[in-house]
Structure 1
Amino acid sequence: MKMVDYIKINKIWLISYSIIFIIINCILYSSTTINSSFKDIIYMDILIILTIVIAFVYGFIIERKKYSNILKHNEKLDNKIKDFHLNVFSNMLEKQKLEHLKTEESLKNNINDFEDYITKWVHDIKINIAVVYLLLENLAEHESKKIISEMKQMEFSVNQVLYVTRANNYNLDIKSEQTVVKDEIRKAIRENAEFFMNKNIEITVEVEEFKIISDRKWIQYIISQIINNSSKYTNENGQLHIFSKEDSKAYYLHIKDNGIGIPKEDINRIFNKGFTGKNGRITTKSTGIGLYYAKKMCNNLNIDLKVESEEGQYAEFILSFYKLADYFNVTSMSQ
């Protein structure tokens, strides 16, 4: 407690004493019956004022001690209340954390069960597709050609389901090894060969046999998605040119077709999930999923994927495989 606060609290008391003091002095100075000198009255006033000041200061000291004790008691009480609230809050957070962990574990188990189911479903469907191929061998060529084409597209879509399931759980499905990119290009071309043959699209490959450290099946998946996309948007008797370049930092794989190209307003969105754009409305086979997951896996593998295009002229996808010296600096570039 401060002196100012104490004065405010006792101001009625101080005013009363001041009035009494003034009245007494007025009586003493105006009365002719009281035989006292001016000096005696002054002396008496000093004693009265001194007594009042001493009593006032003493009262202030007593009140301040009481006030300090109350503050200490309240502070201890506040600390206890704070500790209590903190303990309650900590217990609530711990309880919520445990509940979230249980929920997360349950979701993980459900996802794993779903992935197991999808994997089994894909393998079962692939067996059925293989059986259909065997049955088609007994049909005439002109009768089976269209069916085989549709079966190939179905097989590609089924494989895509399997890869998409794995892509969402990428960390559990990765194997880094020395990979010859040209070998994965050949596999991707074989996987999509039927689509190019049906439209008589010519494929030329001019790729050096460079090696990278990565997951080869995911490299094949990325290239296959890009090639399959080219087969959809390249007209009959078109061309697909696959070639490579190299500099001190990286190997660059170019996949360029002379198809319908990509509109300017769509080119920055083709890697968005589910985006089909203007060209996607031309064909019912476009889902907007293939390039999204290709880009997603490129980011996971620290591969840069870009696209250049001119509508009605060409579309060119460029994969940048960074060399070991620059490998750890790639993440920011491939975001």
Structure 2
Amino acid sequence: MMNYLKEKIPRIGFDIVCVFVFALVFKLSDVPTKVALYPAMICATFWLMYVLFDLRKYLIRHKELQQHKNNIDITLHQLQSPKTQMESDYQELLCQLEYVLLQRLRDVNKVNFDNREFITTWAHQIKTPITAINLLLQDMDEENELDKSYTREMKNQLFEIEQYVDMMLQYIRLDSLNSDLVLQQYNLLQIVKQAVKYFSRVFIGRNISLKLDDNLNEKVVTDEKWILFVLKQILSNSLKYTKKGTISIYLKKQNKTLKGQNSLILVIEDTGVGICSEDLPRIFQRGFTGYNGRMEKKSTGIGLYLTKTILDRLNNGINIYSQVNKGTQVEIIFRNLTNM
């Protein structure tokens, strides 16, 4: 109502001025008040009827536009026909803006697609020289301890490069993850062993103990490729921030609620430096490195973001508990244990 009055202020002001002009003319012409009052009342009645009709039309149109605003999925061509020339002009302007925005969006999508294709191709191509260098290092003659040390360090650096390339590939594929999923029933122990074997050289080189419980021999429904990537990311972080000690992998005893939901909780626990309590709420944010990442200068801020995103798409969960200088405990909740 108030918005209507604000929009009609010029028109109402003009009508009031006209009333005063007619009243002044009648006064100066010595027209009797009773004679002037009758046509004035008729005019006022018609004016009020017009205002009420116009207000009703205004409110109906406003309601229609509000409904369109709340249902923004519609296109401009689905809007109701304009009631005035001004509305028609605005709709034409919006159509032009829509066309320009869609054209720019297509251009941006094409650039993004080309970039993804280039990065994916590059990532696959870079693996070839990495593999070749690894083979050369294996065949290299190590005449003394210094040579062995150099070779070992070069292998470690190549291993890290491989990890970063794989992480980049999975990040690129994240948009198409849903269409890439192949959900089947797998043995959890076998998948965990694959992830551990991938880091066997790191475990041995850093003299870090592994405690792998036998109770992992359970069936879960998941995508092997993606869950293996998740386990590698978590193990990579555990190894990165554990200078000495043990990494334990086991199934957590479930409470009644989780058991009723037919789920398993896989725990990967380390005795590393831990995570600051103020960093814990943000560790799944993309690009967040935290205190440890800034100190070590090795964190990309992408690994845990990818982990959380992938587990969400797999309908699984993740919890992380940590204490500084005591270690970190990562829980992966498998909610699908039988074929769907």
| Cα pair distance change 1:111/1:311, threshold 3 Å | same
Pick aligned residue for 1:243 from 240, 247, 250: 250
Whether the aligned pair in 1 keeps the contact of 2:250 and 2:268 (CA below 8 Å) is: yes
* TM-score, length-scaled by structure 2: 0.71
| Cα pair distance change 1:16/1:181, threshold 3 Å | same
5+ long unaligned stretches in structure 2 = 1-17, 62-80, 143-147
RMSD: 3.6
Whether the aligned pair in 2 keeps the contact of 1:182 and 1:210 (CA below 8 Å) is: yes
Q: Is the aligned partner of 1:146 residue 2:153?
A: yes
> Which of structures 1 and 2 has the larger relative contact order (alpha carbons within 8 angstroms, sep 6+)?
2
Following superposition, the deviation at residue 305 of structure 1 comes to 1.1
5+ long unaligned stretches in structure 1 = 19-48, 328-335
Q: Distance in 1 between matches of 2:171 and 2:324?
A: 29
* TM-score, length-scaled by structure 1: 0.72
- Secondary structure of the corresponding residue to residue 117 of structure 2: helix
* 1:36 corresponds to: none
Q: Which has the larger radius of gyration?
A: 1
* 1:296 corresponds to: 309
Following superposition, the deviation at residue 155 of structure 1 comes to 1.1
Following superposition, the deviation at residue 282 of structure 1 comes to 3.6
Q: Distance in 2 between matches of 1:324 and 1:138?
A: 45
- Secondary structure of the corresponding residue to residue 275 of structure 1: coil
Percent sequence identity is 27
Aligned length: 284
Whether the aligned pair in 2 keeps the contact of 1:164 and 1:293 (CA below 8 Å) is: yes
Whether the aligned pair in 2 keeps the contact of 1:255 and 1:317 (CA below 8 Å) is: yes
Whether the aligned pair in 2 keeps the contact of 1:181 and 1:219 (CA below 8 Å) is: no
Query: What does the per-residue CA deviation read over 1:112-134, in whole Å, with 9 as the maximum and x for residues that have no partner?
Result: 21111111111111111111122
* 1:90 corresponds to: 91
Following superposition, the deviation at residue 210 of structure 1 comes to 3.0
Q: Distance in 2 between matches of 1:265 and 1:320?
A: 24
- Secondary structure of the corresponding residue to residue 156 of structure 1: helix
Whether the aligned pair in 1 keeps the contact of 2:178 and 2:313 (CA below 8 Å) is: no
* 1:130 corresponds to: 131
- Secondary structure of the corresponding residue to residue 108 of structure 1: helix
Pick aligned residue for 1:164 from 168, 171, 195: 171
Following superposition, the deviation at residue 154 of structure 1 comes to 1.3
| Cα pair distance change 1:13/1:101, threshold 3 Å | closer
| Cα pair distance change 1:117/1:60, threshold 3 Å | closer
Pick aligned residue for 2:201 from 194, 197, 200: 194
- Secondary structure of the corresponding residue to residue 317 of structure 1: strand
| Matched residue type, 2:43 | R
Alignment of 1:1-335 (within 5 A): 9-10=22-23, 13=26, 17=30, 53=34, 56=36, 64=43, 83-141=84-142, 142=148, 143-206=150-213, 207-236=215-244, 238-245=245-252, 246=254, 247-249=259-261, 250-323=263-336
| Matched residue type, 1:91 | E
Query: What does the per-residue CA deviation read over 1:213-241, in whole Å, with 9 as the maximum and x for residues that have no partner?
Result: 332211111111000000011113x2110
| Matched residue type, 1:307 | I
Q: Distance in 2 between matches of 1:195 and 1:125?
A: 22
Q: Distance in 1 between matches of 2:99 and 2:224?
A: 39
Q: Distance in 2 between matches of 1:7 and 1:232?
A: 86
